[in-house]
């Protein structure tokens, strides 16, 4: 029997939790959602649980119960802080946990994102990652440079809409490529800081990236030195074939949303096939499963709490990800079962914060540790190393060496 490696575990932080009525819980800190202390406390709790990393949700549109734009509801959390800035703020109060903010690739420029994430990697001493996200079409109206198009489930059957969606993923792939090249545009030893000779940098170790494509024409180099990790990890959420292709070509970690172990096997196979087609078969690519979790001492209490929150929001909670309501032991069983299907880790979405976050760190983690399925302490502070990635070579330094 094959011995499986320990699981990787992360949490996805979003406001008061992923259930829209979570902010109404007595334990919720709804008046603090826009405070630095709130986010610092959440990330420090994740670190106490020895989690690999946290992700921080963000977008260019208000939260909504629909996919086509803002709704008229006033009984749910609306508004959020910038995820990259949150991560930079909480970095100094943590030492180990990875910080992976969401930054949108649509309506932004690769140069800006590369600089922001490189800065976060410096501030966190090598713990930065990036969840690259495409914006939804209705967000175009905030910028005025793209047409405001309707792109719901019904519209996806039209060839012109399918072509537009495909183009957006191709654009996202180029965006990530430009960011990666900008991170490499400074060699690691480009900064000399030689007071005697008056030379701060070696200009021969700064490189033009000269990227010319359909959407971007970027000369470079960056104005920020190469990040401590060289290449902070790029992550993406994927639900279907186009997104699997984008993640397999451009990301280091992909989050997927299977409904069961059998579906997990199918999805992992498709992602690996896309990875092979992209010529990345030798590269490490983690496939994490996403789940929304309601965790309590008993499954009955978890289901009752979910029902109570559903009553408050006047609707049954639905998610793109599998929804688990039960106790930590049952969730541990599920995670191990899905790991056998090919997933190397999981990103858990706490339904209500702080309750379900603490249930993960103080209930699920000890349960997995007792089974030998999760570490007892951090072995590496660098996020790349913790997830098993090798030191990132610099493509331009390699070219110079060859010359």
| pLDDT tens per residue, range 51-64 | 999 999 999 888 88
Given a cut of 50, is residue 102 above it in pLDDT? yes
What pTM, to 2 d.p., does this model score? Answer: 0.94
User: Tell me, what's the pLDDT at 4?
Assistant: 85
Domains of the chain with bracketed CATH = 32-234 (3.20.20.30), 279-293+316-330+347-359 (no CATH)
State the pLDDT confidence band at 65, using cuts at 50, 70 and 90: confident
Q: In 10 A of CB 284, how many CB atoms?
A: 14
Beta bridge partners of 290: 347
| pLDDT tens per residue, range 334-391 | 999 999 999 999 999 999 999 999 999 999 999 999 999 999 999 988 999 999 999 9
- Pick from 142, 147, 98: nearest CA to 120: 98
Residue, of 65 and 38, whose pLDDT is higher: 38
Given a cut of 90, is residue 145 above it in pLDDT? no
| pLDDT tens per residue, range 246-269 | 999 999 999 999 999 999 999 999
The structure tokens listed for 324 are 């688990």
Strands (E) in 136-245, as ranges, are 191-194, 199-201, 211-212, 217-218, 233-237
- Which phi and psi (to 5°) does residue 398 adopt? -65, -40
Contacts of 305 (CB under 8 A, 6+ apart): 294, 296, 325, 352
Mean pLDDT of 291-302: 98
User: Do 117 and 83 contact (CB within 8 A), yes or no?
Assistant: no
- From residue 390, give the alpha-carbon distance in Å to each of 98, 229, 284, 285: 16, 10, 9, 12
- Pick from 354, 291, 385: nearest CA to 43: 354
In angstroms, the CA 215 to CA 167 distance is 10
Given a cut of 50, is residue 1 above it in pLDDT? no
């Amino acid at each position: 029997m094959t011995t499986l490696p320990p699981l990787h575990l992360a949490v996805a932080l979003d406001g008061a939790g992923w259930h829209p009525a979570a902010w109404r819980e007595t334990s919720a800190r709804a008046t603090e959602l826009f405070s630095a202390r709130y986010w610092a406390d959440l990330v420090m709790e994740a670190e106490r649980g020895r989690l690999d990393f946290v992700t921080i949700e963000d977008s260019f549109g208000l939260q909504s119960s629909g996919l086509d734009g803002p709704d008229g509801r006033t009984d749910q959390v609306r508004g959020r802080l910038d995820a990259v800035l949150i991560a930079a703020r909480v970095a100094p109060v943590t030492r180990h946990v990875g910080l992976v903010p969401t930054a949108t690739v649509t309506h932004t420029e690769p140069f800006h994102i590369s600089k922001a994430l490189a800065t976060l990697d410096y501030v966190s001493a090598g713990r930065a990652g990036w969840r690259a996200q495409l914006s939804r079409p209705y967000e175009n109206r905030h910028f005025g440079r793209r047409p405001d198009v309707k792109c719901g489930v019904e519209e996806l059957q039209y060839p012109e809409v399918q072509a537009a969606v495909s183009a957006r993923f191709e654009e996202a792939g180029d965006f990530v490529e430009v960011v990666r090249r900008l991170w490499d545009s400074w060699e690691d030893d480009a900064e000399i800081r030689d007071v005697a000779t008056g030379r701060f940098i070696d200009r021969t170790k700064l490189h033009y990236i000269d990227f010319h494509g359909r959407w971007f024409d970027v000369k470079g180099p960056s104005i920020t030195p190469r990040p401590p990790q060289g290449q902070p990890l790029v992550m993406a959420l994927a639900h279907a074939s186009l997104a699997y292709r984008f993640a397999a070509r451009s990301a280091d970690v992909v989050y997927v949303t299977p409904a069961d172990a059998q579906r997990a096997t199918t999805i992992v196979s498709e992602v690996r096939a896309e990875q092979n087609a992209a010529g990345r078969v030798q590269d490490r690519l983690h496939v994490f499963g996403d789940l929304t979790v309601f965790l309590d001492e008993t499954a009955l209490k978890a289901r009752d709490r979910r029902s109570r929150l559903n009553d408050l929001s006047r609707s049954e909670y639905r998610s793109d990800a599998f929804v688990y309501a039960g106790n930590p032991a049952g969730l541990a069983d599920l995670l191990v079962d899905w790991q056998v299907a090919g997933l190397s880790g999981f990103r858990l979405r706490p339904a209500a914060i702080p309750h379900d976050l603490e249930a993960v760190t103080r209930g699920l983690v000890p349960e997995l540790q007792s089974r030998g399925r999760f570490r007892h302490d951090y072995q590496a502070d660098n996020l790349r190393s913790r997830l098993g990635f090798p030191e990132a070579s610099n493509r331009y330094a390699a070219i110079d060496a060859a010359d």
